Chain A
């Protein structure tokens, strides 16, 4: 089941990359950042799978990916929110989190355990970005059809994925050390399912015509 869902999520990710590349010239700046994020996702997945294939530890990629993901998402939401206050705050937010990831990796290197605190902090920051976007949507009321708004789809994917995966990361190490491999695989299959939902939302965001 785990492999099946993972393959589906990879297929959706590939499709999103293809659609994004096909429409790249017409995409606004914020969605071009989404393409950069998808590139990072693809590179991370490839590297993680290669290391797994050669039975090498690949958990060290997680903080690097988290820092990169938050950096790109912050840039993407900066372009979307167009708020001078957020623009001033963004480098500190993304830079601070990147520094935290670096310090956490250097001071407490892990090869066989997850870093739930780092993942939870990242999820909280991403959910804050989405909250700012929803606040802007409700305050300004410029968007008349939410289903035609790419950033709304991106935000839906991020909310579902981050709220769901925060539960998994919260118990990830406990699950790893105390319970069977089958349960672990089942839980990580749910994680893959959440990723498939996220990639589907990215795909929709890149597929629909952005509103001016």
Chain B
């Protein structure tokens, strides 16, 4: 390997092999770096999309709540007032009526009283004025009272809530609780007790709604449970997503249902 042409050829060949080797390494490095950059861009895009979806969701829920508030107020101040006035007038008519007319007036008065009660209930469920005025703890208490009054289900309410969250988040939590109570009333056959707990532990806030009813198989396909509150569960999931909270549900046939909503401090006011 000492002759100059051989040395020259050896150098040339080794140079060629080295060049190819370096090209291979460069190609691999390019793929690695370019793939990382593309991944970062994709992550950024996904984060932006998620943020946009979150904003859209919040806007939709806010618009929905605004509309509910308007309808609730209209019902309370419009139809509610009209019915209440009509009831008063019928009360006055009752004293003037005699015989058959008196009985009819009494019946009309009862019907009007029921209508006033229903309109108030509807108005309150559409927009909980108590929440706006006194906060989440009072609103939940009111919800529990109404539930106990109108249903055979006893509600046990425990509240440990010192640092209030923003009103829109309180409203979302209230709606979730309202839907969960409604679900228990509707689907938890055989339930005698409904436990509602609102607990604030350091940076986290937990809402638990548990009943001792018939329960269901959590592992069962979603489609089979859709009939038993699909829209309600979707509404809960949407609000949980808006709150950036965690939703978990534990249940088994004959062992009741326990639903947990956990919020982190990022949504605190």
Contact B39 A144 (CB under 8 A): yes
Given contacts A141-B39, A141-B42, A166-B20, contact A186 B31 (CB under 8 A): no
> Which residues 14-32 of B have a CB within 8 angstroms of A?
14, 16-17, 20-21, 23-25, 27-28, 31-32
Q: Is B6 an interface residue (CB 8 A)?
A: yes
The interface residues of chain A lying within 8 Å CB-to-CB of B35 are 137-138, 141, 143, 146
As a 0/1 sequence over residues 134 to 155 of chain A, the CB contacts with chain B under 8 angstroms (1 = contact) are 1001100101101000000000
Q: Is B134 an interface residue (CB 8 A)?
A: no
Q: Is B13 an interface residue (CB 8 A)?
A: yes
Interface-lining segment among A9-17, A20-28, A109-117, A157-165: A157-165
**How many of chain B's residues have a CB under 8 angstroms from any CB in A?**
22
Given contacts A160-B25, A163-B20, contact A138 B38 (CB under 8 A): yes
Q: Is A167 an interface residue (CB 8 A)?
A: yes
**How many of chain A's residues have a CB under 8 angstroms from any CB in B?**
25
Contact A187 B34 (CB under 8 A): no
The interface residues of chain B lying within 8 Å CB-to-CB of A168 are 13, 17
Contact A137 B31 (CB under 8 A): yes
- In the A-B complex, list the 10 residue pairs whose CB atoms are closest, starting with the nearest: A163-B20, A160-B24, A163-B24, A167-B16, A159-B24, A182-B1, A167-B17, A183-B1, A180-B1, A164-B20
* Chain B residues in the interface with A (C-beta under 8 A): 1, 6, 9-10, 13-14, 16-17, 20-21, 23-25, 27-28, 31-32, 34-35, 38-39, 42
Contacts A164-B20, A183-B10 known; list 18 others, CB within 8 Å: A137-B35, A141-B35, A141-B39, A144-B39, A146-B31, A160-B24, A160-B28, A163-B20, A163-B21, A163-B23, A163-B24, A164-B24, A167-B17, A168-B13, A178-B9, A179-B9, A187-B10, A190-B17
